[in-house]
Structure 1
Amino acid sequence: MSLSNIFILLILIHLTFTQTVRGKDCVCDLKNSDPAFPEKKLKNVETTALQCIGTITPEMMTDLDRLVLGLQQRIKQVEENVIVLEKEDDRNLYGAVTLRIIELEIAEIQDLLHKLNSTTRNYRHLSVQTAAQLEDMKDAMVELEKFDSMQVIKTNRENQRVKRSLEQCKEELNATAAPPTVPPARCGLGRMVSVAGPRIYSLTVYSTSYTYGAWGRDANPAPGGENKYWLVVLSSSNVYGNFIRQYSTLSTLLLGIGPTDTYISSSNPTTNTIQGPNMVMYGNALYYNCYNTYSVCQFNMTTRSVSTVALPKDTGYNSKFPFAHLGATYTYTDMDFTTDESGVYVIYATTSNFGNVIISKVETSNPPVLNQTWSTSLYKRTVTNTFMVCGVLYATRYLDKDTEEIFYSYDTKTKEERYDLNMKIKKMQTNIEFLNYDPRDHLLYVYSDAFILTYELIFQ
């Protein structure tokens, strides 16, 4: 072998060669210039890792939790026994026996405290020891990684990082985005995450006679009317109503005691009487769809006078654009009235907007005035109800006889629409004829097939 070939070989494999010549034969002594792999150090790391796994077990934490729980129960029992002793001490045998029981329980508490302190000290020592071992293993693995001349470990680590990033991207693409977050400056509630309940579930005094109606509280009550509740049943063909029944408290409403009836007119139906189940009370006035017109009626509960404001001429009424689902139509629900922290809104649809939902703010002056209006892409006949929270419109749809779903939102501040909210409402009856949000207690008030219910909105 020539010297030039030897030099080339040296460059390629970083090895040192020694050449000797025996006649025509060439003998090479191969010497590795890299240090020997510390196999012993690797075995030490493996042994330490196995020791950590064997030393720290889930059962150890369970023991600690069990001691803490036992201590809590013992302290609670002692408190109860002390209360009993204070109430029933006869200064004689009964008091002495109870006192002795308390002494024994305190002794058991002291024993549990001793065990807890001992266990905590042992765990603290074990934590310090394990932390030191982990640090040593980390340093050893850094040293061992230097022998990975082909960077297999580094490449594998990078591959794992890229794989995690890809999985995270997949999750983000497939995940349902959260419902819109209402800025705290607007009303301080944050993001609505679920609906709990029902909290109240009861028949009215009318029993099952009237399946369409509405109820709730005044969202902006006059002084002295903070505790009042109102109830309207559509007593004529489940379509029309001509009086509002009020109760002084929730209890009197549920029991049907001492109602006060206020009549809009003496006959039903007639001009200015209520048409459809969607209405709200705000500022001691009832807002509803005027009989047989595309107008908003405002009925003043004190003066018993009616003021109106007309919606656009192509607004649907008399069941042109009602709430509905594939199995049923909720007749005469062309207009829905809602309240939130800022006032009253009317929800409706027009032919010029292709039957899609329109939101108009109703200024509660006398007479009322329509203010800002927002057009959405939500087709009204695919919706079963709507409500407003902090300037955000939410829409529900019928899933089955047991479940309603809040599926849609429209933020009047940002004009952002969402169709993927997926918040379920557990129904007690098949249909929800009326639903409205009360900003005073954050409850949804529901009228469902002659039953009245409330649900709690949960905010994050």
Structure 2
Amino acid sequence: MKLYVIIPLWALLTFTQQASALEICACELNISEKAFPHEKLRIVETNVSDCNSNITPQKTVELESLLLGLEHRLSQLNKDVLILEKEDDGELYGVLSLYVIENEMTEIKQLIDKLNSTMQKHQILTANATKQLENLKTEMQELEKFDTMQVIKGQQAIAALKVDLRKCSEKLNTTVAPTEPPQGYPYTDLDLATDESGVWVVYTTTQDFGNLVLSKLEEGEPPTLRRTWRTSVYKRAVTNTFMACGVLYATRYINREVEEIFYSFNTVTGQEKFNIGIFMNKMSPNIQSLNYSPVDQMLHAYCDSNMVSYKVLFG
């Protein structure tokens, strides 16, 4: 009697599949593209950040302020020398004028020294920045080689198209500028003042209803008024103004012998004070101008062709 083993068909199929799974399949992968240099890109980004932090608009403003201050002081020195040449009073006022001129020349020398030092720093900074930019340009051109899908070139083309569209839109929307300034913005009674930080302009406008307005002067063709502060003191109530350490001071007439510094405006804090209460004895009834000199910390007053100097003490 023979024994037969009957194997179902599904079992045979399962066995065959299991046997095939035991076979090992291997393939070779060849990548022709180079690995992207992420570390190099990080270094480039760091260099760009360092370059941006080294070159700031404040550095340019500092140099422009020094140039404007020097130009103003040279102009004032020329005026004072002309006055001295016309004086023939013997001794007193000629000596005072020479003292003022000496202080102005000292201040001019200090400005020139600071200007030379600042320009040397700027020249070094410009040379370093130029070299950095050339290196960055070369490195970015090398990194662009990894842009196989031309994404960067596409973005550059889109940016160029946006610039062209903006220029075209500006031409279409251009209107003829008025030949005369609009009524209600013209400046009136402009006065120049200088202190340690540069040149200031004190004025008023009809828009400000006659109140004092203070602006920092920026060099240009023509010069422009940059940052502006508006005060609440009426200009016609003020006889003179001067700047010291970024603070605007205003005086008023008390009588023929006394003038009062009654008002101040701090450009840093924006704080106004109407109760300064500093009184000055005058040699003449009228003070034509006041000028603070940071060199000797003296306030020089010009009264009816006479000059009086006051020592300034800061609390």
Tell which has more relative contact order, 1 or 2 (C-alpha 8 A, sep 6+). 1
**Alignment TM-score, normalising by the size of structure 1:** 0.33
**Alignment TM-score, normalising by the size of structure 2:** 0.47
- Structure holding more strand per residue: 1
